[in-house]
Amino acid sequence: MPTRSCIQRAPWLGLTSLIGMVACMVASAVVVSVSHDQVVTSWTIPPAVFVAVFSLACSIASSAALGAGIAVRFWCGASSGIRLSQLHYIWNHGRGFNLFPALRAGSKARAVALLASLSYVMQFAATPLLQRSTYQTTQDRVSFEPLSLDLASRIPDGWFGDVYDGQLAGFKHGLFEIQQWWRNELMVTNVEGGDTCADSTCYGHVQGAGFSYQCWTTQQTLQLDTETTNNATVFLVDTAINDNATLRLTSKYVSDVDSNCMSIIQVETCDLIAATAEYPITIHNSTISLRRDELTTMPVISSYTSPGDAPSAPSGSGAGPLVSLAEFAITRLTDNATKTFSPVMSMSSYRGPGALADIFLVSPDALPRNERCRLQWSRPTEYVLASMYDFMFRCALHAGSDVSEAQNFTARRTVPTAVFQADSRYLAGALAAMACGLVLVAALMWDFWLLGRHVTLSPLEIASGFGAPVLRDVSGRGGGDATIDEILAKVRGREFRTDSRATGDDGRRVPLGKEDSNASSVRLSMLNVTGTGDSLVSRI
């Protein structure tokens, strides 16, 4: 037989399969990486489908490469001399229940069984890891949109009503907003371009009528477990118009009590002046709301003094915004709780005309003191100021609609969007498993260049290599150097039976024992085997 080049001897199916495995690995990594943060609707076919296809293709390529590697190891073992038991377990490569017998058969069979079994494990592990490497989640997509809202930057005197002898009359606008605030009803937007926020949420800051304020704090002490301090104020929220046309808010509350029932009373005083403030708003679909946690820290654009807020304003003049705000606070946000100590019950209690003292009372269960002085409140000032801002914003929204005063602003729009996410840990694990499988099956094909031809595990090629008489005429004596293609070229038309009966070239059945080794169809007879014991040396 002529000497074949390394290219002719190469197991091209196995090598091509290895290249296919690499291509599947690269394609899987590219799909998972590219799909990261991509909108779900932008992919007609989800990345998980591509990943599943590439995983299946990699498994098929791995199986093909494994088959080529087993063939190389089989013929390398046969050409160098090997026991028939090892040759069998190389062919079987530890499949099914043959793993442990293969491990005991010999070093060559053991190496093939371990490499093949580990490649199966890597192939099995890579699939679920690759599937977990991509998943769907919801993510807020942000854009900035120009919007316009009818919101009064100042509420003119008289919009709330008129003042007669210090009393506010015709407070219908303010009364309506008080009702809305009390019921915490949603504010319907009159935003131009409001459809922008449909099925999404817009966050922005818009200028509207409000107030600015300055506060300072002092402290007092009060003994609680004595009758001498009965009727002393322990919780207070009060408002009044100052002579300089400002609104004064005073809040007083017991902030701490020591073990001797001596209390510390915080007194907070805030002076409010009419102003244009920048409200933090949230628009969702057709409703608008304030972010209350930002109200007391929002920036003030400009402050002003309204003539209608002055105590000296003539009777019948239009009420200013602070007079109206005071009316709201007096009717809804004031309280004056006083303390009472009962020696008979050995307990301090309080009573007030409003509900704020009940709302801000610290739960007695949270105070490790006896009933003699278990009175303590949390700070009400921030809540009261935020409620005043809420009321003023509702009024500015109403007044702005009446006069069509538009405020332009930019809103940050967030849209909950389904996107693909890549998990780099699972992707790395899957690629590592696939790479390990590739290396394992590639190791089985090592030394293929030492063989004289391209090899397979075809039964015809094995029979030829073992010197079966039926194939002696294929390529020289014994036919051990023929490739499967060369064998098929010679025996393609021959028929084979295992019932010890064969047909000749003329189609007639040949009686048992009368077969001719040159007949077109014969039964397989004893192989030409040389050697002793369990050794097999065949010319390959």
Give the model confidence (pLDDT) of 157-196 as tens digits: 989 888 887 788 888 788 888 999 999 898 887 666 557 7
- Closest C-alpha among 480, 476, 482, 469 to residue 528: 469
Burial (CB count <10 Å: 0-12, 13-18, 19+), residue 511: exposed
Q: Give the three-class secondary structure for 505.
A: coil
Would you say 258 and 374 are in contact if contact means Cβ atoms under 8 Å apart?
no
- On the question of pLDDT at 129 being above 50, the answer is yes
Position 494 scores a pLDDT of 75
CA 361 to chain centre: 41
Element (H, E) at 120: helix 107-132
**Per-residue pLDDT, 430:** 92
At 535, the pLDDT band (50, 70, 90 cuts) reads very low
Q: Name the DSSP letter for residue 79.
A: H
**List of residues 6+ apart from 47 with CB closer than 8 A:** 31, 32, 35, 134, 420
For residue 430, the tally of other CB atoms under 10 A from its CB is: 27
Query: How does pLDDT run across 359-402, given as a tens digit for each residue?
Result: 999 887 766 556 678 889 999 999 999 999 999 999 999 888 87
Residue 6: CB atoms within 10 Å: 8
Q: Average pLDDT, stretch 242-261?
A: 91
The answer to whether residues 287 and 255 touch, using CB atoms and an 8 Å cutoff, is: no
Helix (H, G, I), strand (E, B) or coil at 40: helix
Token couple for 372:
């003699």
Mean pLDDT of 277-306: 91
Q: Is 327 within 8 Å of 218 (Cβ atoms)?
A: no
Question: pLDDT category, 519, cuts 50, 70, 90?
Answer: very low
Q: How many CB atoms lie within 10 A of CB 322?
A: 24
Q: Do residues 129 and 426 touch, judged by C-beta distance below 8 A?
A: yes
Question: Comparing 271 with 344, which gets the higher pLDDT?
Answer: 271
Q: What is the pLDDT of residue 344?
A: 87
**Over pLDDT 90: what percentage of the chain?**
39
Mean pLDDT computed over 22-38: 93
Average of per-residue pLDDT across 529-538 = 36
- Report the pLDDT value the prediction gives residue 98, as an integer from 0 to 100: 73
448 — pLDDT class (breaks 50, 70, 90): confident
pLDDT at 353 over 60: yes
Of 388, 390, 363, 392, residue with least CA distance to 375? 363
* CA 77/CA 216 separation, integer angstroms: 95
- The tens digit of pLDDT for each residue in 308-325 reads 888 888 888 889 999 999
Between residues 532 and 201, which one has the greater pLDDT? 201
Pairing of strands 162-164, 167-169: antiparallel
| pLDDT-above-70 percentage for the chain | 86
HSE toward the beta carbon, residue 279, CA cutoff 13 A: 32
The pLDDT of residue 1 is above 50: no
Who wins on pLDDT, 346 or 22? Answer: 22
The kind and range of the H/E element at 30 are: helix 12-35
pLDDT value for 262: 92
Q: Mean pLDDT lowest for which of 94-98, 327-331, 419-423?
A: 94-98
Q: How far apart are CA 28 and CA 32, in angstroms?
A: 6
Residue 370 pLDDT: 61
Averaged pLDDT score across all residues of the chain:
83
pLDDT, tens digit (0-9, with 9 covering 90-100), for 466-491:
777 777 677 544 446 777 777 787 77
Classify 275 in phi/psi space as left (phi over 0), alpha (psi -120 to 50) or beta: beta
Taking 50 as the threshold, does the pLDDT of residue 527 lie above it?
A: no
Give the pLDDT confidence of 192-223 residue by residue, as tens digits: 655 778 778 899 999 999 999 999 999 999 99
Instruction: Report the alpha-carbon distance of residue 41 to residue 150 in Å, rounded.
Output: 36
Q: What is the per-residue pLDDT for 226?
A: 92
Please give the average per-residue pLDDT across 146-164, as a whole number. Answer: 89
